[in-house]
């Protein structure tokens, strides 16, 4: 691949400003396109190792930029991670520690759960007093745009209340209430023609914004509802991936019991694969538009997800192998993400294994566009520009705090990563696990017992950071009994798991039909 050497206009402007004679025409700052995919697993794209999903457009971003192999979401579920991207703060600091709408305390217990702990309360909106990334971009002279999923606050705390000039589709909900085909049931997105694809609609809205603002610097934030459940696709894509799964060999069993729920073991869901491809098609539309408008060489593109792929709970959609677990889990599958930054002239498919976080996008983008950093705001983020240049950044601990159970079977716990070491503290019984990720990416070998001093040091550091941030912790449920929990788990193993296996094979059968004109994608004309 021919290496592109691009001097961004903001850099060129600084060079010109040192001369006696200013340029005749002010040079335009670089544009920014930020793409966020919901519930997108680490290996849900081919560039990160999938042999099943096909993502040529996502791969373009990665292969023309830098791939951060140890790139992380700030939380294992959506709302906290999303708040962290635009605030630059870890969830323990901004207070949104679970997906907004999750039950806490006794309300959690009354939902028929059989767990030992009562999850603590959390904040339900992103604080308005924060100066967010889009607000900082506006201060730097950027036109700002948001399309898609928001889910970090209700009315009064929507995208337009946190720095976005235009909002297409962002509101309270975390899933597409009307599904992936119009009508959408979204108060901030007008319905398209019946059967219109939601991901493509969001891409087209983004393209329209870019066309209308190509003569000014823009910050476009494309936040797909895909690939969150309910998983839906068109018949043609289902058929393509059903046949592909058969050609690859369909396993007799697809699930293995985790701590609380069965966990999907392979990527072989043709409906989910079709949903992934539809998202990738939409990404391609935006990338092609940038190229057609000659904006591609002056646009920074960031791509990531908000938490791991769903292996349990929700739609049981994917597998993150070789990573352990998925959305909602304390393991790498719950927090490690596709994490790409494409800066024209930098990266070109290089891989960087320095651990980085979603909180780092805020200062990184400010530095890339020549704006002044705001360390008092992006408290838990650092600029990744040195890494993009092939240099290094100071080693630092990364932490994750999730004192909840969630819907996917993960356990209330907090995590710290220092270098290649990862410590997990569990709140049910206080025990801790230690993994060396460089040698054990799948987290199969707990080294805590033979590294007691390291465990003590990392645990102390973890709780120093959590306490400094004002973290909240779970409490014991006085109504819990071991017998009730055992009964619940036996029901999951003996009743729920067989149903999941049956459903998996149904989706792979040649005569599968969801019975609703493929979720409304097939529109009949009178």
How does strand 255-257 pair with strand 66-68? unpaired
For the chain, count helices (H), then strands (E). Answer: 16, 18
The mean pLDDT value for 417-445 works out to 98
| Torsion region of 519: left, alpha or beta (phi above 0 gives left; psi -120 to 50 gives alpha) | left
Query: H/E element holding 304?
Result: strand 299-305
Lowest mean pLDDT among 4-8, 121-125, 307-311: 4-8
Give the pLDDT band (50/70/90) at residue 89.
Answer: very high
The count of C-alpha atoms lying within 13 angstroms of the C-alpha of 464, restricted to the half-sphere facing its C-beta, is 8
> What is the per-residue pLDDT for 3?
38
Give the pLDDT band (50/70/90) at residue 385.
Answer: very high
Q: Does pLDDT of 18 surpass 90?
A: no
Lowest mean pLDDT among 54-58, 314-318, 432-436: 314-318
Query: Considering the entire predicted model, what is its pTM?
Result: 0.94
How many other CB atoms sit within 10 Å of the CB of residue 170? Answer: 25
Q: Which has more pLDDT, 113 or 229?
A: 229
- The average confidence (pLDDT) of the chain is 93
- In tens, the pLDDT along 167-224 reads 999 999 999 999 999 999 999 999 999 999 999 999 999 999 999 999 999 999 999 9
Give me the domains of the chain, ranges plus CATH numbers: 9-391+481-520 (3.40.720.10)
Query: H/E element holding 322?
Result: none
Of residues 366, 307, 329, 334, the one with CA closest to residue 138: 366
Q: Report CA-CA distances (Å) from 45 to 51, 301, 349, 399.
A: 9, 17, 15, 26
End-to-end CA distance of the chain: 51
Task: Assign 3-class secondary structure to 412-443.
Answer: CEEEEEECCEEEEEECCCCCEEEEECCCCCCC
Handedness of CA 142, 145, 149, 151 (dihedral sign): positive
How does strand 432-436 pair with strand 421-426? antiparallel
SS3 230: coil
Give the pLDDT band (50/70/90) at residue 327.
Answer: very high
> What is the per-residue pLDDT for 523?
78
> What is the per-residue pLDDT for 122?
98
The mean pLDDT value for 128-146 works out to 98
- In tens, the pLDDT along 341-365 reads 999 988 678 999 999 999 999 999 9
- In tens, the pLDDT along 225-272 reads 999 999 999 999 999 999 999 999 999 999 999 999 999 999 999 999
Give the pLDDT band (50/70/90) at residue 524.
Answer: low
Q: Does pLDDT of 34 surpass 50?
A: yes
SS3 235: helix
> What is the per-residue pLDDT for 8?
52
> What is the per-residue pLDDT for 62?
97
C-alpha–C-alpha distance, residues 101 and 97, integer Å = 11
> What is the per-residue pLDDT for 27?
53
Phi/psi for 414 (5° steps) reads: -130, 150
The mean pLDDT value for 277-295 works out to 98
Token representation of residue 337: 């993400």
* Unique residue bearing structure tokens 């929700």: 314
Give the pLDDT band (50/70/90) at residue 20.
Answer: very low
Lowest mean pLDDT among 397-401, 403-407, 457-461: 403-407
> What is the per-residue pLDDT for 5?
39
C-alpha–C-alpha distance, residues 51 and 180, integer Å = 25
> What is the per-residue pLDDT for 406?
83
């Amino acid at each position: 691949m021919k290496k592109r050497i691009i001097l961004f206009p903001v850099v060129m402007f600084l060079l010109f400003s040192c001369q006696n004679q200013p340029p005749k025409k002010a040079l335009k700052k670089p544009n920014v396109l930020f793409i966020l995919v919901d519930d997108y697993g680490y290996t849900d794209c081919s560039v990160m190792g999938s042999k099943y999903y096909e993502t040529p457009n996502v791969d373009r971003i990665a292969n023309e930029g830098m791939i951060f192999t140890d790139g992380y979401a700030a939380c294992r579920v959506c709302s906290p991670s999303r708040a962290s991207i635009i605030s630059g703060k870890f969830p323990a600091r901004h207070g949104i520690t679970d997906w907004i709408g999750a039950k806490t305390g006794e309300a959690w217990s009354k939902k028929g759960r059989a767990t030992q702990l009562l999850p603590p309360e959390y904040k339900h909106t992103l604080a308005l007093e924060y100066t967010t990334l889009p607000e900082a971009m506006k201060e730097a002279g950027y036109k700002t745009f948001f399309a898609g999923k928001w889910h970090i606050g209700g009315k009064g705390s929507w995208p337009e209340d946190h720095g976005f000039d235009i909002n297409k589709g962002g509101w309270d909900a975390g899933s597409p209430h009307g599904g992936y085909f119009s009508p959408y049931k979204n108060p901030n997105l007008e319905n398209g023609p019946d059967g219109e694809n939601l991901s493509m609609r969001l891409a087209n809205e983004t393209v329209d914004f870019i066309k209308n603002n190509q003569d000014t610097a823009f910050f476009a934030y494309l936040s797909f509802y895909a690939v969150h459940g309910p998983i839906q696709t068109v018949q043609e894509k289902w058929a393509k991936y059903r046949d592909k799964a058969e050609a690859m060999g369909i396993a007799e069993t697809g699930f293995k019991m985790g701590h609380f729920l069965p966990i999907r073991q392979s990527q072989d869901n043709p409906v989910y694969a079709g949903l992934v491809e539809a998202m990738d098609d939409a990404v391609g539309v935006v990338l092609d538009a940038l190229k057609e408008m000659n904006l591609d060489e002056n646009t920074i593109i960031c791509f990531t997800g908000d938490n791991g792929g769903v292996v349990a709970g929700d739609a049981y959609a994917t597998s993150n192998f070789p990573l352990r677990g998925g959305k909602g889990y304390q393991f790498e599958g719950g927090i490690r993400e596709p994490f790409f930054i494409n800066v024209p002239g930098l990266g070109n498919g290089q891989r960087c294994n320095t651990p980085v976080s979603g909180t780092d996008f805020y200062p990184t983008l400010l530095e890339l566009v020549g704006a002044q950093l705001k360390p008092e705001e992006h408290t838990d983020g650092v600029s990744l520009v040195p890494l993009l240049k092939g240099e290094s950044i100071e080693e630092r601990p990364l932490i994750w705090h999730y004192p909840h159970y969630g819907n996917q079977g993960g356990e209330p716990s907090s995590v710290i990563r220092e270098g290649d070491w990862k410590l997990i503290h569990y709140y049910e019984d206080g025990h801790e696990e230690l993994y060396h990720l460089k040698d054990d990416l799948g987290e199969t070998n707990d080294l805590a017992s033979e590294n007691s001093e390291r465990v003590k040091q990392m645990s102390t550091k973890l709780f120093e950071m959590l306490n400094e941030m004002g973290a909240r912790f779970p409490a014991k449920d006085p109504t819990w009994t071991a017998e009730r929990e055992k009964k619940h788990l036996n029901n999951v193993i003996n009743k729920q798991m067989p149903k999941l296996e049956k459903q998996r094979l149904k989706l792979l059968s040649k005569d599968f039909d969801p019975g609703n004109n493929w979720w409304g994608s097939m529109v009949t004309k009178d």
